[in-house]
Amino acid sequence: MIKEAIVTAQQNEDELIRQAQLDPGSFKPIYETYFKRLFLFILHRIGEKELSADLTQQVFLKALGSLPKFKIQGAPFSAWLYRIAINECNDYFRKSKHARLVVLQDHHLDLLFEELTAENTVDELKKRLPSILSKLNAHELQLIQLRFFEERPFKEIGNILGTTENNSKVKTYRILEKMKKLFLAK
């Protein structure tokens, strides 16, 4: 029953995409479906509401402009939009030289702590995590954010980043090993 509902929703979304490819005026339902999610996604990386709103608009403008070239291939349409959003954020950071922002909540720290567990405490991780995260490159930080701070499944991460589910897992665990070494090195 649930699987049928998911298939029906995917078919409905595919039909909306086809309509919007033929008539850009039909893009509104797609925009309304994804605006809030993409805005929050960008806000968690940028940290400024107005700038995040501007970048979100750019994502939708680029998506609308590239929509005729989009091919429905089984990956969720949202992954394509998130990939555009990531590129917009990366462009912003590259052009502005602003520091990347990572929004941390306690339950995110708990997830990371489980992966980095040692004889250290969660409080120590809280103190040292900003320093550890600053030693990751942009791609590594992106994977950690998607997996632990946004709690996305590896399959979705793969879709967003244009890789396989397995590749996302392998890269994430390599990054965790790197973080673990940094965490254990006093």
Confidence of residue 96 (pLDDT cuts 50, 70, 90): confident
What is the model's pLDDT at position 152?
87
- Quote the CA–CA distance of 44 and 29 in Å, as a whole number: 24
Residue 35 predicted with pLDDT over 70: yes
Residue 171 predicted with pLDDT over 60: yes
If one compares 51 and 6, the residue with the highest pLDDT of the two is 51
What is the model's pLDDT at position 45?
86
Confidence of residue 46 (pLDDT cuts 50, 70, 90): confident
Confidence of residue 12 (pLDDT cuts 50, 70, 90): confident
Residue 7 predicted with pLDDT over 60: no
Q: Which of 48-62, 110-124, 127-141 has the highest mean pLDDT?
A: 48-62
List of residues 6+ apart from 17 with CB closer than 8 A: 30, 67, 70, 72, 77
Confidence of residue 101 (pLDDT cuts 50, 70, 90): low
CA atoms within 13 A on the CB side of 4: 1
- Quote the CA–CA distance of 35 and 38 in Å, as a whole number: 5
* pLDDT mean across residues, the chain: 82
Q: Comparing C-alpha atoms, which of 86, 15, 82 is closest to residue 45?
A: 86
- Quote the CA–CA distance of 14 and 72 in Å, as a whole number: 7
What is the model's pLDDT at position 100?
65
How do residues 13-29 score in pLDDT, each as one tens digit? 788 888 888 888 888 99
